[in-house]
Amino acid sequence: MLNDRLKGKNVVITGASSGIGAKMAFLCAKSGANVIILARSWDKLQNLKQEIETDHQVTVRAYKLDVSNIDEIQKVFAEIIADVHHVDVLVNNAGFGIFDTVEEAKLDDAKAMFETNVIGLIGCTKMVLPNMKARRQGHIINVASIAGKIATPKSSVYSASKHAVLGFTNALRMEVADEGIFVTSVNPGPIETNFFNIADQSGSYVKNVQKFILSSDQVAAAVVKRMLSRTREINLPRWMNLGDVFFTLFPSTFERLGKKAIFKK
């Protein structure tokens, strides 16, 4: 799957060392983009860089970044701008979740989720916006979650962080609507990645929703296909978005009738 719009464009992907971030990096390189990968795991980044360069005969730039650290964001993105001069596409993909009831949830975990999923995402966005505005072009893609639309038990803090991402994304889209900048939210259901190694250490949730789990290849392909296009949202799987519509229109009925389905964790 190729996206000819990406040829020669600079694409920055956070949380790129594994999962859909890594898969997007491969697809962007295959489409002729200049790929810039960021993550905390330096060894994994270096291995990914080598694999992509070997497969596609391109030069990949890798930077170590913990998006929960604002100082690091400012330093690393200043280096990126100095190296490549501008960013055409920013994919805010870094994020994590922990599934706990409100009573069991640790405040340190809640703080860490918001620092990574929300504050870090905002910080990365702020670093590329001025240049995109000056050039009157660019695309910001924020990986949220269906959990940002439909909250479920034991995902209270994670859902809250993704609600925040969606609110930020929707407001940003309106702010830059006349600046030539596209803003897209990605709202997938459960994905077969390392995410659940942290979020669901018991393994019960993954077992219960196994038949609904998306492949990372499927999600990555859907995102890369729409890069540099005016796409408001990418909702996967599509049928799950119907649940969001029903939840929005009939929340009480959804919670009553869907009780068995949403108590999967």
Residue ranges, the chain, pLDDT below 70? 1, 191, 193-212, 239-251, 253-265
Give pLDDT, residue 101: 92
Give pLDDT, residue 206: 44
What sections of 136-237 are H helices per DSSP? 156-175, 195-199, 204-208, 216-225
Which structural domains are found in the chain, ordered by start? 4-262 (3.40.50.720)
Burial class (CB in 10 A: 0-12, 13-18, 19+), 171: exposed
Give pLDDT, residue 214: 85
Give pLDDT, residue 252: 73
**SS3 at position 77:** helix
Catalytic residue numbers? Answer: 158
Give pLDDT, residue 203: 52
Give pLDDT, residue 153: 86
Give pLDDT, residue 90: 99
Give pLDDT, residue 255: 67
Among 210, 198, 8, 194, smallest CA distance to 98 is for 198
Give pLDDT, residue 237: 82
- Note if the pTM is more than 0.85: yes
Give pLDDT, residue 10: 98
Please count the CA atoms within 13 angstroms of the CA of 47 that sit on its side-chain side: 7
